[in-house]
């Protein structure tokens, strides 16, 4: 996604200031339909994993199209993942959502309806030393319910996708997606809105501790044994 610099919001200085920025950015009457995405680096662009260099160069070397590459990835994931799915996805859209949530490279871009969850994802990586970002996006284009019968690999526009609750992670994270048909498409499309909040590097550890007090940590966003173990380590050590 391309990003117009004049839509950048201020640096968030405290949790309270961050919430003010999140709430204050919304034009009157546009309270519904906002998504949030936390990224560890302020410099990272909004890009689906399938479009990152390692995947793009791989398919180019084999003469595959983007859609062919995606379909091969998803087909292999479905073959191996079906016995492990708690609920059987109904169609390629739901399989994409499940695969994306467990790390497969797809055309989906992760968002959350919860701005505090997005802030956590922006600051959780303790090895990153630079500024982070929370992206705020208001989608005014078509949604998945309007084009569910269309293959996700034939899209010609950015689509909002709110999947069924196929895993507890999607549910507790307020998970939603945009399906990105072409990385060169301008964003926001169809009169939507896209903003970015800078999270200063010096405040990342402070925000993690304050989010923990608000009940936002790895255990609450990843309700499994991995998430619980990670959170217990953080609570009872100096890792921050």
Encode burial over 53-92: b for 16+ CB neighbours within 10 A, e otherwise. Answer: eebeeebeeeeeebbebbbebbeebbeebeeeeeeebeeb
Decide if 101 is inside a domain: yes
Decide if 240 is inside a domain: no
Decide if 138 is inside a domain: yes
Determine the pLDDT at residue 232: 56
Decide if 156 is inside a domain: yes
How many domains, in total, are found in the chain?
A: 1
Decide if 56 is inside a domain: yes
The strand ranges marked E within 78-148 are 108-112, 132-138
Give the pLDDT band (50/70/90) at residue 42.
very high
Asked whether residue 37 carries a pLDDT value surpassing 80, the answer given is: yes
Determine the pLDDT at residue 149: 79
Asked whether residue 222 carries a pLDDT value surpassing 80, the answer given is: no
Q: Measured in Å, how far apart are the chain's first and last C-alpha atoms?
A: 33
Domain span at residue 209 reads 5-235
Helix axes 204-213, 115-123, angle to 10 degrees: 140
Contact by Cβ (8 Å): 166, 94: yes
Q: Which of 158, 183, 163 is nearest to 175 (CA)?
A: 163
Asked whether residue 1 carries a pLDDT value surpassing 50, the answer given is: no
Element (H, E) at 177: strand 175-179
Element (H, E) at 38: strand 34-39
Decide if 202 is inside a domain: yes
Q: What is the pTM of this model?
A: 0.79
Asked whether residue 154 carries a pLDDT value surpassing 70, the answer given is: yes
Between these two residues, 149 and 233, which has the higher pLDDT value?
149
Mean pLDDT calculated for residue range 75-91: 74
The highest-confidence range among 25-39, 41-55, 138-152, 169-183, by mean pLDDT, is: 41-55
Element (H, E) at 196: strand 193-199
Decide if 221 is inside a domain: yes
Decide if 224 is inside a domain: yes
């Amino acid at each position: 996604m391309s990003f117009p610099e004049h839509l950048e919001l201020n640096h968030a200085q405290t949790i309270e200031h961050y919430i003010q920025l999140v709430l204050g950015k919304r034009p009157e009457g546009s309270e519904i339909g906002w998504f949030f995405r936390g990224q560890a680096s302020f410099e990272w662009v909004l890009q689906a994993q399938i479009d990152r260099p390692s995947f793009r160069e791989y398919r180019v070397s084999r003469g595959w199209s983007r859609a062919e590459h995606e379909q091969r990835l998803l087909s292999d994931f479905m073959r191996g993942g079906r016995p492990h799915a708690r609920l059987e996805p109904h169609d390629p859209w739901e399989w994409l959502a499940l695969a994306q949530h467990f790390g497969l490279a797809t055309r989906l871009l992760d968002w959350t309806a919860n701005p505090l969850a997005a802030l956590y994802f922006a600051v959780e990586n303790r090895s990153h030393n630079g500024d982070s970002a929370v992206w705020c996006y208001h989608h005014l284009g078509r949604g998945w319910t309007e084009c569910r019968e269309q293959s996700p690999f034939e899209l010609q526009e950015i689509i909002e996708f709110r999947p069924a609750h196929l895993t507890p992670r999607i549910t507790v994270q307020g998970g939603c997606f945009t399906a990105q048909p072409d990385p060169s498409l301008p964003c926001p499309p169809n009169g939507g809105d896209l903003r970015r909040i800078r999270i200063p590097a010096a405040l990342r550890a402070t925000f993690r501790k304050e989010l923990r007090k608000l009940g936002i940590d790895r255990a609450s966003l990843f309700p499994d044994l991995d998430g619980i173990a990670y959170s217990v380590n953080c609570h009872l050590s100096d890792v921050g």
